[in-house]
Amino acid sequence: MEIRFDGKKALVTGAGKGIGRDTAKALVKCGAEVFVLSRTQEDLDSLVQEYPGIRPVQCDLGDPVATKAAVESVGPIDLLVNNAGINIPQAFLDVTLDTFDTVMNVNVRAVLQVSQIIAKGMVERGTGGSIVNVSSLASKISAKACTTYCASKGALDIMSKVMALELGPHKIRVNTVNPGIVMTNMMRKIGYDDPDKAGPFLSRIPLGKFVEVDDVVHAILYLLSDKAAMVNGASLPIDGGFLTS
Ligand code: NDP
């Protein structure tokens, strides 16, 4: 099954590192013109060095004024990947309102804001489009010290379904991918490269291994593409079968 995006314009948020970075590279290889939005300028510079055609947009999605200006600056977009996300682990009783707002602002509010700007353009042009929101298995299962993260991804799943419902008549499909643990910076920062911490989670994965970045990238490409023409409002677990255990 060959997936091509020739003539399409794509925007990937959180494309400086991890899943977003590799998604942006894969989209370039599939022929899309790719805009990469992220927070750290050096990450964007190194992406442009690797792929000179890539279009960098530096922005902190926690800042709604900067986000509006940045996303409006990219112009018409056909394919949107809302990938940027953060996790600030705190035990439930210790969660501060500041942390709650910080996580929700990036993981949920920014997705709303970016998608509104991009989808309004799609509706006005009547060209349709496809949006993939990078959620998590954490929307479906609880995890210790992840109150805000789980809440944000739960909110993202159901917001995506409402988007699918309302944007579907405009030929805009909206889906989520819901990966289990992928060993990126995000997971290393919270200690999942420690076998003692990772072991109990790993033991519940029927396929016996963690998800690779490419497993997520391939699912995103499929959902963005016309091969998924009738897939709308879906949440796709990428978890090696964890949810069956
Ligand atoms: P990484 O931390 O490796 O990369 C996240 C990227 O998003 C970085 O480039 C980061 O930039 C950027 N980013 C974060 N906050 C902002 C912001 N406020 N404004 C702009 N850019 C921002 O994470 P992953 O690749 O692991 O995660 C990507 C997505 O996948 C997230 O939504 C995450 O929740 C989800 N996910 C990850 C899983 C995993 O196990 N890794 C599992 C399930 C879901 P910077 O470094 O400059 O802050």
Has 153 been annotated as catalytic?
yes
pLDDT digits (tens, 9 = 90+) for 22-70: 999 999 999 999 999 999 999 999 999 999 999 999 999 999 999 999 9
31 located within any domain:
yes
Cβ of 64 closer than 6 Å to ligand 1, yes or no, is no
pLDDT digits (tens, 9 = 90+) for 162-188: 999 999 999 999 999 999 999 999 999
166 located within any domain:
yes
Which pairing describes strands 33-38 and 9-13: parallel, antiparallel, or unpaired?
parallel
**Domain extent at residue 107:** 9-181+212-238
194: phi then psi, degrees, rounded to nearest 5:
-90, 115
131 located within any domain:
yes
Cβ of 84 closer than 6 Å to ligand 1, yes or no, is yes
What is the CATH number for 52?
Answer: 3.40.50.720
Closest CA to 137 of 153, 151, 155, 161: 153
177 located within any domain:
yes
Cβ of 117 closer than 6 Å to ligand 1, yes or no, is no
1 located within any domain:
no
| Residue ID of nearest Cα to ligand 1 atom 43 | 136
171 located within any domain:
yes
Catalytic residue, chosen from 8, 25, 149, 192, is: 149
Cβ of 33 closer than 6 Å to ligand 1, yes or no, is no
188 located within any domain:
no
What's the pLDDT score for residue 112?
99
Whole-number percent of the chain with pLDDT over 90: 97
74 located within any domain:
yes
- Between CA 184 and CA 192 the distance in angstroms is 10
**Number of domains comprising the chain:** 1
- Between CA 206 and CA 90 the distance in angstroms is 29
Q: Is the pLDDT of residue 1 over 90?
A: no
